[in-house]
Amino acid sequence: MNNNPIATILGGGGFIGRYLVRNLSKENYRCFIPTRSPYLKGYLKTQTTPGAIELIHFKSDNFSELEKAIKNTDVVVNLVGILFENRKQKFQKIHVDIPNLISKLCKKHKVKKYIHVSAIGANSQSKSLYQKSKFGGEQAALSNFENTVIIRPSVVCGAEDNFTNLFSKLSFLPILPIVGLNYKFQPILVSDVADSIMQAIKIKNNEGKIYEIGGPKIISFGDMVRSIMATINKKKFVIEMPMQIAKIQSTITDLLPFPPILTRDQCEILSEADNIVSNKELTISDLNIKPQDVELAMKKWLVRYRDGGQFAKAK
């Protein structure tokens, strides 16, 4: 009989999920991964031994398969989240309703621990629907299931991210207009986030706790974009776009049928408090992790955006 622990990871095929699944497999976990498109997530099975990963067809309007997975699970991790709303996906449903149901299922089936990944800035008083919904999901999970642990990362960066790669792709522009040029955040490497989740699972008596995790450096939005440009050997003018113009522009682009670069809701986030560790909650040091420098690490994956690629000389 196989006595290996079992983890159910919602969002296991996403950006953070693939790194977490790799970590869990090294600790001999068997992973159940609910996904809307299991036929597109087969690559996850190449990271582990045969039989260690089971992909489960999951739809947000039918939780029966999810409950079957959670029923036999030791640990549940929720990584599901969206950065902007569209016709089918809304913040309330993804960030509040789903965590509310997951936490109730965890309590019903006596799961040992539920790790809920939220975001720094989650706040009931925020003007941003994203931040409000993140806070609502946290509160639902904590109130429904006492063995819940909340992890709030700052901006997560890595080879597959939509941040450093986005601005590298925009480097064809002679001028880069940035909203919130002086807005500060604490970028953290995706592998450090995955390690943090693993530590949160292992540490005893941390149920009901909140961890705010960020990288070793606090940097402004403008300086981070300049650092990306320097990494890919591109000299560009980085200027500030006035917030009022950005709000008007984003209100229009929110109506278009393709993913926006910046939404009106994200403008609200950039108008509020910096996205940095507040030191009001536990931090990454409480997880015994020393985070890596994102600016140094991103040189490995952004090299492909240099003229000449990996063979280009650093300037």
Cβ contact 163:188 at 8 Å? no
Is 148 part of a structural domain of the chain? Answer: yes
Tell me the pLDDT of the chain averaged across its residues.
Answer: 93
Q: Does 244 fall in a domain?
A: no
Cα distance between residue 162 and residue 15, in whole Å: 9
Chain centre to alpha carbon of residue 55: 21
| Residue 292: strand, helix, or coil | coil
Q: What is the pLDDT of residue 9?
A: 97
237 lies in a domain?
no
Q: Is residue 302 part of a domain?
A: no
- Given a cut of 90, whether residue 158 has pLDDT beyond it is yes
- Half-sphere exposure for 125 (CA within 13 Å, toward CB): 2
Q: 224-248, pLDDT tens digit by residue?
A: 999 999 999 999 999 999 999 999 9
The DSSP annotation for 134-160 comes to HHHHHHHHHHH-TTEEEEEESSEESTT
The alpha carbon dihedral of 179, 87, 105, 69 has a sign of: negative
- Residue 142 makes CB contacts below 8 A (sequence gap 6+) with 148, 150, 208
Task: Give the pLDDT score at 314.
Answer: 59
Mean pLDDT (whole number) for 131-149:
98
Looking at residue 187, the DSSP 8-state letter turns out to be -
Number of domains comprising the chain = 1
Q: Rounded to two decimals, what is the model's pTM?
A: 0.94
- Average of pLDDT values for 274-278? 96
Predicted confidence (pLDDT) at residue 1 exceeds the cutoff of 50? no
**Would you say residue 267 lies in a domain?**
no
**CA-to-CA distance for 93 and 125, rounded, in angstroms?**
19
Residue 83 located in a structural domain:
yes
For residue 40, being part of any structural domain is answered with: yes
- pLDDT computed for residue 259 by the predictor: 82
- Which domain CATH number covers 32? 3.40.50.720
pLDDT band at 65 (very low <50, low <70, confident <90, very high): confident
Decide if 176 is inside a domain.
no
Treating both helix axes as pointing N-terminal to C-terminal, what angle do 15-26 and 190-202 enclose, rounded to 10 degrees?
Answer: 50
Range(s) of the domain holding residue 80: 6-156+188-215+276-291
What is the rounded distance in angstroms from the CA atom of residue 239 to the CA atom of residue 305?
Answer: 21
pLDDT band, residue 258 (cuts 50/70/90)? confident
Average pLDDT over residues 48-57: 87
What lies within 8 Å, CB to CB, of 63 at 6+ separation is: 101, 105
